[in-house]
Amino acid sequence: MIEIILNSSSKELTSEFNKLITKYTPKFRLFRVQVVHAKLSPTIFQRKKTTQNAVRSKASVEKICIVSPGNSFGFLNGGFDKGIMNLFNSCNSTQDFQALFQKELRMINKTSYSPVLNPTLVDLAKYNYTCELLDENAPGGSICMQYTHILHLPTMVSPEQPLFPKKSGNATNNNQKQLSFVFDCCFRSLLQLRDTFFKIDCIVLPGFGAGYGGVEPANCALGILLGIKLFEIDHLKLVDQPTLQKYLLQLHGYKDVNIFQENKKIEPNKVDLEKILKL
């Protein structure tokens, strides 16, 4: 089972994550999900010895994929991306990681520009970015963290202005747009990583748009948790296709959630989106 770390240095966002998890106790079947309130650093992967985590470290090396929520050009000098740059530079101070990362993006995409929400999976295993940590669950009391992949998923072209300014019209409509955006970021990330699950042990997800983007913490937390949950529901076929379509249409603000059903007389079967977390 892959671990997902919801990592943020924002107290407000981590509080919203914890509120939803405490309220609905979502049952995740593909992932172990945990919230870590801290700046991105090697210490977010450290664990104390507990019964729950006793199965965590069977191997001496744990492979990590970090999702970069940054900009279309691969610059890493702000927000969560700056944490990524500092993390990798701390593993190898002789290598300019931002330059290396942008070079890898150009090699994969054949361009220096990546449109918003265009995912690029960068395999960094050949560079051997590693960090050894104390771990009471691991044989010998330590484990080697290997940062093998970065999934670059631009949330904006440039951080010059927020995606969702504080004063931008109808609040309800703005909340809907924020929720849809964050959900798509999370769901798109997991779709892109699906064929790589067997290569990684842990995925680090940021608070998409919650920094420069201007997404409200409550919308960000719900969007990410619904992204994980609905990915599982779809992947494991936990509900039938019409029901899944209704959930997705409702999440994206569509009024006619029966738009794809032949019998248009059926009343829309709307649900409390948060309750999807309990499925």
What pLDDT band is residue 86 in, cutting at 50, 70 and 90? very high
- CB burial class (10 A; 0-12, 13-18, 19+) of residue 251? buried
Three-state DSSP class for 74? coil
142 pLDDT band, cuts 50/70/90, is confident
Packed helices 79-91 and 97-109: angle between N→C axes, nearest 10 degrees: 110
Q: How confident is the model at residue 136 (pLDDT cuts 50, 70, 90)?
A: low
Domain boundaries, the chain: 2-238, 241-279
CATH class of 2-238: alpha beta
Beta-ladder partners of 3: 32, 202
Residue 266 has what pLDDT? 47
> For residue 39, what pLDDT is reported?
94
